[in-house]
Amino acid sequence: MNSSTTITTTGNIKTAYGESLISGAIDCDGGDPWIMRHGDFYYYSKIEQGQVVLRRSRNITDIAAGGSSIIFNDQQSISVLWAPEIHYLDGAWYVYFAAQPAGSDIHHMYVLSSESTDPLDGPWRLSALDGMDDKFAIDGTVADVSGKRYFIWSGWEGYTNVQQNLYIARMVSPTCIADEKILISQPEYPWECATHPTINEGPAVLIHGSTVNLAYSASGSWTDNYCIGLLTAQCNADLADPTVWSKRDTPILRSGRGIYGPGHNSFVVSPDGFQVEMIYHSTRWHNGGFNRSVRFRPVSFDHRGRILPMDSIPPNQLIERPSGESHRLRYYYNHSTDLTIVPNSESVTGFAIYGLEHPQQNVSWQVQVPEDGQWSIFIWYRNASAKNNLTGNKLLIDIDGITRLPVPTVFSSCYQPIIVRETLTSGAHMISIHTDSTENLMLLDYIELMPQ
Helices (H) and strands (E) in the chain, counts: 0, 35
> Is 381 within 8 Å of 409 (Cβ atoms)?
yes
Cα distance between residue 436 and residue 451, in whole Å: 28
Query: Mind giving me the DSSP string for 218-248?
Result: ES-TTSTT-EEEEEEEETTS-TTSGGG-EE-
Cα distance between residue 231 and residue 154, in whole Å: 14
Q: Which of 19, 192, 201, 448 is catalytic?
A: 201
Q: Which of 27, 29, 32, 448 is catalytic?
A: 32
Query: Residue 180 catalytic?
Result: no
DSSP helix/strand/coil, 190: helix
Beta-carbon contacts of residue 104 (< 8 Å; ≥ 6 apart): none
Query: Residue 29 catalytic?
Result: no
Strands 211-218 and 198-208: antiparallel
> Is 129 within 8 Å of 192 (Cβ atoms)?
no
Q: Which amino acid is at 346?
A: E
Q: Which amino acid is at 303?
A: H
> Is 322 within 8 Å of 270 (Cβ atoms)?
yes
> Is 328 within 8 Å of 22 (Cβ atoms)?
yes
Catalytic positions: 32, 201
